[in-house]
Amino acid sequence: MTNSPYCNGASELKNCYLCFRSDYSENCAYTNTTSRNKDCLDVAFTNDSELSYELINSNKCYRAFWAQDCDECHDVWFSKDLTGCSNCIGCINLRNQQYHVLNQPYTKEEYTVKLSELNLGSLKGVEDFKKRAEEMFLKQPRKQFHGRKNVNVTGDYIFNSKNVHDSYMGGNLEDVKYSQLLKSGPSKDAYDYTMFGLGAELIYEAVWVGLTSRNVKFSFWNYGARDIEYSFACHSSGNLFGCIGVRSSEYCILNKQYSKEDYLELVEKIKKQMSEVPYVDARGNKYYYGEFFPAEFSPWAYNETSAFEFFPISKDEVIKKGYVWREVDSQEYMPATVTIPDDIKEVTNELLEGILKCDDCGKNYKIVKMELDFYQHMGISIPRQCPLCRDRARIGALNPIAIYDRKCAKCGIDIKTSYAPNRTEIVYCEQCYNNEVA
């Protein structure tokens, strides 16, 4: 990490600010679950992209703004599900096209005029065009799942994978089931695995495990680990049982060192006792050997976790399920000390000295210099929401971690999809979608 304050779950960052679950990036801010990006702001679940803003679940894009599910595109705005496209505004389902507005083709000269007329440096101009684009998107078909280059795969947002089922947001996976957020593959031979990847294999009931980890069970936050169970924050270690914070060691139980022979013998005794005398939580649930840690052991409250981002539920529901809810600190926020002009052309460096108030949550936030420089250089409007609300909105733009039964809107066959039956999108099976779009 170089000059990258206030980043977490991150590595190999340079000149980055408030980046989370992000790696190998430079000059980025407000990112979530990204890799190998440069000069990007407010992007999520995106890799190998540059000079982009409000980009979601996309790869290898350059100058992409308010776009989602795009691959290998450049100079695209307010678009979805584009591949190999350039100079497109408000488009969906295009392949290897250029100079399109709302899916209609134009000459290069006509397109340049259309782009200048939109005035995307104005917040009003942005909001007006986004509404037009979203209305058009609802008239176009959507594929039953997001993914490419897969063999025998079910779930959503799965790419370059084989034999993956009931999983969500993963790349370069093989023989994986019931797993989520493994965007930084490869990962293989995993079951009930959440977050990370990067060469992990033989993972079961584990969270945030990666970097060539192997044979990890019932554990969380372990890098370069092998043959460990019920352990937390143990990196570059192997043959651990019930350990925390161990580094570059092996044959430890409850952080105590043993010989290999004593370790193997004692672990078997512990497993036997765990199977015969289970832990009973406050709600009466029994946890035998082979179960992940009880939720009541979590050092974080439910509403402080990624679970809350993907499965937002009320405080009453959280308590009913036996999780912990942490009340937000009572605090009064001050009114904004500066007014953001509608058009980026009217914004000056005086904005850096002011305090803003989020239109959504009411909390105060500031614009930092690298952020303002980006907005002015790219000619895009200043956001009126704080970084957290913007990130939550990007997560909300994704389809949920859920699978529903629907029928293809074209041929009528039964399909599995993350588009709920009550949603208004037109959803096609993969074959019908490919026949019509790809």
Q: Which of 33, 60, 27 is nearest to 378 (CA)?
A: 27
Query: For residue 368, is it within any domain?
Result: yes
Mean pLDDT over residues 194-203, rounded? 92
Mean pLDDT over residues 397-414, rounded? 95
Q: What is the pLDDT of residue 30?
A: 97
CB of 394 closer than 8 Å to CB of 108? no
């389902």: which residue's tokens?
A: 93
Q: pLDDT tens, 329-366?
A: 778 899 999 999 999 999 999 999 999 999 999 999 99
Rounded Cα gap, residues 129 and 137, in angstroms: 12
Mean pLDDT over residues 418-430, rounded? 95
Mean of pLDDT over the chain: 94
Do 265 and 223 share a domain, yes or no? Answer: yes
What pTM was estimated for this model as a whole?
0.91
Do 246 and 322 share a domain, yes or no? Answer: no
Considering its fold, how many domains does the chain have in total? 5
Q: pLDDT tens, 34-71?
A: 999 999 999 999 999 999 999 999 999 999 999 999 99
Secondary structure of residue 179 in the 3-state scheme: coil
Do 157 and 236 share a domain, yes or no? Answer: yes
pLDDT band at 11 (very low <50, low <70, confident <90, very high): confident
Query: For residue 155, is it within any domain?
Result: yes
Do 100 and 137 share a domain, yes or no? Answer: yes
Rounded Cα gap, residues 303 and 314, in angstroms: 9
Mean pLDDT over residues 170-176, rounded? 95
Do 262 and 304 share a domain, yes or no? Answer: no
Rounded Cα gap, residues 231 and 302, in angstroms: 21
Using the predicted structure, report yes or no on whether residue 73 has a pLDDT greater than 90.
yes
How many C-beta neighbours within 10 Å does residue 309 have? 13
Q: What is the pLDDT of residue 211?
A: 87
Q: What is the pLDDT of residue 331?
A: 81
- Bridge-based pairing state of the strands 62-68 and 53-56: parallel
Query: For residue 429, is it within any domain?
Result: yes
Strand partners, 235: 247
Query: For residue 10, is it within any domain?
Result: no
Do 307 and 234 share a domain, yes or no? Answer: no
303 phi, psi to nearest 5 deg = -80, 10
Do 68 and 125 share a domain, yes or no? Answer: yes
How is residue 138 annotated by DSSP? T
Q: What is the pLDDT of residue 208?
A: 92
Do 188 and 131 share a domain, yes or no? Answer: no
Query: For residue 367, is it within any domain?
Result: yes
């239109």: which residue's tokens?
A: 359
Core vs surface per residue 35-53: b (16+ CB within 10 A) or e: bbbbbbbbbbbbbbbbbbb
Q: What is the pLDDT of residue 252?
A: 98
Range of the domain at 419: 404-436
Rounded Cα gap, residues 327 and 118, in angstroms: 43
Q: Is the C-alpha dihedral spanning 418, 421, 426, 427 positive or negative?
A: positive
Q: What is the dihedral angle through the alpha carbons of 312, 314, 318, 324, rounded to the nearest 10 degrees?
A: 90
Do 136 and 163 share a domain, yes or no? Answer: no
Q: What is the pLDDT of residue 334?
A: 93
Q: Is the C-alpha dihedral spanning 354, 360, 362, 365 positive or negative?
A: negative
> In this prediction, what percent of the chain has a pLDDT beyond 70?
100
CB of 243 closer than 8 Å to CB of 231? yes
Rounded Cα gap, residues 353 and 356, in angstroms: 10
Using the predicted structure, report yes or no on whether residue 185 has a pLDDT greater than 80.
no
Q: pLDDT tens, 241-255?
A: 999 999 999 999 999
Query: For residue 22, is it within any domain?
Result: no
Q: pLDDT tens, 265-309?
A: 999 999 999 999 999 998 899 999 999 999 888 889 999 998 999
Q: Is the C-alpha dihedral spanning 385, 387, 388, 391 positive or negative?
A: positive
Burial of 90 (0-12, 13-18, 19+ CB in 10 A): buried
> In this prediction, what percent of the chain has a pLDDT beyond 90?
87
Do 168 and 255 share a domain, yes or no? Answer: yes
CB of 164 closer than 8 Å to CB of 145? no
Strand partners, 220: 207, 232
Mean pLDDT over residues 380-397, rounded? 94
Do 259 and 322 share a domain, yes or no? Answer: no
CB of 219 closer than 8 Å to CB of 204? no
Query: For residue 408, is it within any domain?
Result: yes
Rounded Cα gap, residues 168 and 114, in angstroms: 38
Do 81 and 132 share a domain, yes or no? Answer: yes
Helix ranges restricted to H, 196-302: 260-276
DSSP 93-117: S-BS-EEEETTEE--HHHHHHHHHH
Rounded Cα gap, residues 237 and 145, in angstroms: 38
Kindly list the strands in the beta sheet with 86-89, ordered across the sheet, starting from the edge strand earlier in the chain. Answer: 11-14, 17-26, 29-35, 41-44, 53-56, 62-68, 74-77, 86-89, 98-101, 104-105
Secondary structure tally for the chain: helices H, strands E: 8, 30
